[in-house]
Structure 1
Amino acid sequence: MRVIRGRAATIEADRDLSRQLLSFAADGDPAVRVWTPHRQVAFGRRDRRLEGYDRACERARERAFPPVERDVGGRAVAYDGETTLAFARAEPVADFRRGTDERYERATNAIVDALRSLEDDLEPVRGEPSDSFCPGTHSLSHTREGDGEEPERKVVGIAQRVRQDAAVTAGIVLVARREELTATLEDVYGALEVPFDPESVGTVAGGGGPSDPSVVRSALEDALVGERADVTIEPVSETYGNSDANERR
């Protein structure tokens, strides 16, 4: 298994590197990557069809979040460039019509195990609150402070891309800086005229976990790799214009 560490110098170079994970897997070489993407708002295909899309892109730019269009997932997500993590695990598939649920389950279990390992009181729950960012059926949340009866805050979103010879299960983990991310998402979703509740946004730190993304990144990587002996660590090479982000374990 390849474990790719680091971030390329530009958004597009970084995206190209992530796309290569599918090619590695198709050649029989599964791969894992956990990193901090560049600061951006990544819009989904459904967003691009809305009348407010151009306005939403402008709102993102006004907050210094460059807008991009992503390949995997649904609605818009925001990365602050420093504390928001992305993860991806690519693996070969023998039959693209089978295994989707199992891949989701393995990835979800791995992320739950990683978050639990960070703090005794950090207990992620499956599901998400109403009107959350990038709503989907595979999400992890934590309960808000209080009596435990309030709605949950979403911390992790998981998506999957499958082609005939390989699949990648990928997602986002919000570690810290809830206020900035929430304000940006509120502007973007407002422009798109898509329901969004600012109180639905959570972070690992807000759930009692660490605010250091490097600590969270290491835990996620270990959990996604699992108990494998055939691991090759590959820092992002000079070919991609390494920005030296996330190179340290």
Structure 2
Amino acid sequence: MRVFRGRAGSIAADRDVSRRLLSIAADGDPAVRVWTPHRQIAFGRRDARREGYDRARAAADKRGFPPIERDVGGRAVAYDGATTLAFARAEPVTDGRTGTTERYERATAALEQALRTLGLEPSHGEPDDSFCPGTHSLSVNTRADGRERKIVGIAQRVRSDAALVAGIVLVANRGDLSAVLEAVYDALDVALEPASVGSIAAAGGPSDPEPVRAAIEDALVGDATAVSIESL
């Protein structure tokens, strides 16, 4: 198992590091990465086909979130550059047509385990009109008002020789994230309820991303042996 820590010096270089995980897995070694990406709005390919895509990119850029288009996942997600985490786990596959559900289930279980070690009780699913809606999301109850809000989204990319399960975890700063997401989704003419955007901090967990990063990394590595750690 190879574990990568930290982030590269630019958005483009950082994305190249994550793409390397698939190549490493294709050569036979699982790989894990949990990090704080640069500040950005990462659009999905479905967004790029929307009539309002150019307006959405401009709305993100105006608010100080450089727009990029990502390889994995559906709708736009926001990273604040300081507290929002990304995670990825790549593993070899022998048949890209099988194992998708099992990989999702393993990743979801790992994220649930990590959140519980931080004192949270996550639930499967998401509120209506959430950002980047999907069937593999986790939500938590926000203590201030008892409302369920989404904090984890999970996606998957599968090749014939390797698969990558990746996602986003919102640790803090939900106000700024929900504001930029509202502007972007409005430009795309895609439904979004800003109040559905959550964070670990708002649910009573830590606002510091480091203990969250460490807990997720530990859960994704699991009981793997011969772990090699590479710092960027």
Structure 1 unpaired stretches of 5+? 237-249
Partner residue, 2:89 = 89
Instruction: Encode CA deviations 1:170-193: one digit per residue, 9 max, x unaligned.
Output: 000000001000000000001001
Partner residue, 1:240 = none
SS where residue 4 of structure 1 aligns?
strand
Written as runs of structure 1 = structure 2, the 5 A alignment for 1:219-234 is 219-234=215-230
Partner residue, 2:213 = 217
Letter in 2 for 1:156: V
Percent sequence identity over aligned pairs: 71
Written as runs of structure 1 = structure 2, the 5 A alignment for 1:178-189 is 178-189=174-185
> 1: CA distance between counterparts of 2:135 and 2:61?
29
Partner residue, 1:23 = 23
Give the CA deviation at 1:147: 7.8
If the length of structure 1 is used for normalisation, what is the TM-score? 0.92
Tell me: CA distance 1:147–1:33, structure 2 relative to 1, closer, same or farther (3 Å).
closer
Q: Is the 8 A contact 2:142 2:204 kept in 1?
A: no
Give the CA deviation at 1:227: 1.2
Letter in 1 for 2:160: Q
Q: Which of these residues, 188, 193, 197, is aligned with residue 197 of structure 1? A: 193
SS where residue 191 of structure 2 aligns?
coil
Written as runs of structure 1 = structure 2, the 5 A alignment for 1:74-85 is 74-85=74-85
Partner residue, 1:239 = none
Give the CA deviation at 1:144: 3.3
> 1: CA distance between counterparts of 2:58 and 2:192?
18
Are 1:109 and 2:109 counterparts? yes
Partner residue, 1:243 = none
Instruction: Encode CA deviations 1:26-80: one digit per residue, 9 max, x unaligned.
Output: 0001100000000000000000011100000000011100000000000000000
SS where residue 139 of structure 2 aligns?
strand
Partner residue, 2:142 = 144
SS where residue 37 of structure 2 aligns?
coil
> 1: CA distance between counterparts of 2:157 and 2:229?
24
Tell me: CA distance 1:147–1:54, structure 2 relative to 1, closer, same or farther (3 Å).
closer
If the length of structure 2 is used for normalisation, what is the TM-score? 0.98
> 2: CA distance between counterparts of 1:56 and 1:168?
27
Q: Is the 8 A contact 2:143 2:204 kept in 1?
A: no
Give the CA deviation at 1:94: 1.1
> 1: CA distance between counterparts of 2:151 and 2:191?
18
Are 1:156 and 2:171 counterparts? no
Partner residue, 1:47 = 47
Count of aligned pairs: 232
> 1: CA distance between counterparts of 2:83 and 2:145?
28
Letter in 2 for 1:94: T
Letter in 2 for 1:51: E
Structure 2 unpaired stretches of 5+? none
> 2: CA distance between counterparts of 1:118 and 1:144?
14
Give the CA deviation at 1:213: 0.3
Q: Is the 8 A contact 2:32 2:89 kept in 1?
A: yes
